[in-house]
Structure 1
Amino acid sequence: MPVEKMFDSLDIAVSGIKAQDRSIKSIFSNVANSRTVDAGSGKPYRRVEAILKAQADGLSGVEVSEMAEDMSDFTEILAPGHPNADAKGFLSMPNVNLPVEIMNLGLASRAYQANAAVLKRYQDMVNTSLELLR
């Protein structure tokens, strides 16, 4: 096996861990801001999502291509006493759906764990090889 190909599986696993870390951070941000009715611009917090894509040079891993805002409609609730409510008493809430975020967190966590398992197996293989050489 050529030396330059020896670390491909590690590079792929590390890129997967980095990408899932960004996904998990965006999910945490969404959950933390799920009740933020004014994100600084006078509008509610808008859900963000990490968009993943394959790295440009073939089978070398995954990367976050962008952090995209979810442009779906805001949820409106009746809250006539709230200072941010409109003239009819409706308040725009963030477009964050907590069950969806929990599901996405589960998927991202499993992908993170799978990539960490690849690194662990690689470490085990190296340790076994070193033991055989002793």
Structure 2
Amino acid sequence: MDMTSTLNISAAGMDAQSQRLRVVAENLANQDTTGSTPGADPYRRKTITFQNEVDRQSGVPTVRVKKIGQDMSDFETEYDPSHPAADARGYVKKPNVNTMVEVMDAHEAQRSYEANLNTLQATRSMMTRAIDLLK
């Protein structure tokens, strides 16, 4: 494997993790978004799935986002008969976003992004040193 392949692998990992951070940010931004009509569903948490893929140009395995889906777990309900989205019994469906899960996903994505960035920087440094030796 040459150094260019290493750069491609790291760049693909950074791209995948940055998309993961965007999904986490959207989930956190909508953690209190309820429906606007009686009995309407609130915001549904988004999930992200990764897939291994072989880069066609370099022939090395990389990662990419396979799918951004939705978490189909049940919504919790809260009794609030004055809310515009309250059903006939006075219950409002709350989004299925768990702040702790999202924060942990964000930390994991950040660490993975940083690991890929460190690999990219180390590879770039090695390439620069190799070029300097050839001068």
Task: Output the TM-score relative to the length of structure 1.
Answer: 0.89
CA RMSD of aligned residues (A): 1.9
Cα deviation 1:97-125 (Å, max 9, x = unaligned): 00000000000000001111111001110
Structure 1 window deviating more from structure 2 (44-53 vs 55-64): it is 55-64
Cα deviation 1:72-107 (Å, max 9, x = unaligned): 001111111101011111110110000000000000
CA–CA distance in structure 2, aligned partners of residues 67 and 24 of structure 1: 12
Q: Is the 8 A contact 2:3 2:127 kept in 1?
A: no
Q: Any gaps of 5 or more consecutive residues in structure 1? A: none
Alignment coverage as a number of residue pairs: 130
Letter in 1 for 2:91: F
Q: Residue 32 of structure 1 aligns with which residue?
A: 29
Cα deviation 1:36-70 (Å, max 9, x = unaligned): 00289x42000001100101467421000000100
SS across alignment from 1:16: helix
Task: Output the TM-score relative to the length of structure 2.
Answer: 0.89
Q: Which runs of 4+ in 1 moved over 2 A?
A: 56-59
Q: Residue 71 of structure 2 aligns with which residue?
A: 70
Q: Is the 8 A contact 1:34 1:45 kept in 2?
A: yes
Q: Is the 8 A contact 1:31 1:98 kept in 2?
A: yes
Please point out which of 4, 19, 28 is paired with 1:22.
19
Whether 2:109 is the aligned partner of 1:108: answer yes
Whether 2:93 is the aligned partner of 1:95: answer no
